[in-house]
Amino acid sequence: DVKVTQSSRYLVKRTGEKVFLECVQDMDHENMFWYRQDPGLGLRLIYFSYDVKMKEKGDIPEGYSVSREKKERFSLILESASTNQTSMYLCASSLWGTGTGEQYFGPGTRLTVT
C-alpha cells in the first residue's frame, strides 16, 4: 500500500513564524503535490514537483515555498505565517507518466496561525 505521511496532524503557530510542513511518501513516486483545503473553496493547488529539485507553482503559491531535496520528501514552507494561512494542508503523490492519474493523499495537517 502506498503510504503518504505528514509530519503533524495539528499545528499551532504564531503570526510571523517560519513554518515547515513535511511530507514523505514510500512508493518511489516522482510527482508530489501540496494543496490547501478551505470550507467552500475545495482543494487548491499550492505547488507541485515532478522530480527532485524541480518545482512548479500551482494556483495559489503566494506566501509559500517548497523544497524537494530527496525523491520521497516534499516540504512546504510558510516563510512568515499569517492568519489567512490557517487551513488544512494536504500532501499527495503520484507516479510519473500517470501524473494525471491516481493521487495518493496524506492525512492532512490542520494549521492554525494565531
Partner 1 sequence: SQQGEEDPQALSIQEGENATMNCSYKTSINNLQWYRQNSGRGLVHLILIRSNEREKHSGRLRVTLDTSKKSSSLLITASRAADTASYFCATDRRQAGTALIFGKGTTLSVSS
Applying CB under 8 A, the residues found at the interface with partner 1 are: 4, 31, 33, 35, 40-43, 45, 48, 50, 56, 58-59, 88, 90, 92, 94, 99-108, 110
What's the min distance (Å) between Cβ of 80 and partner 1?
26
Q: Give the nearer residue to partner 1 in terms of CB position, either 40 or 69.
A: 40
What's the min distance (Å) between Cβ of 52 and partner 1?
15
- Within 8 A by CB and 6+ apart from 24, the residues are 4, 5, 72, 73
| Number of residues written out for the chain | 114
Q: What is the pairing mode between strands 19-25 and 73-78?
A: antiparallel
Q: Which of 110, 112, 107, 99 is nearest to 33 (CA)?
A: 99
Q: Give the nearer residue to partner 1 in terms of CB position, either 18 or 57.
A: 57
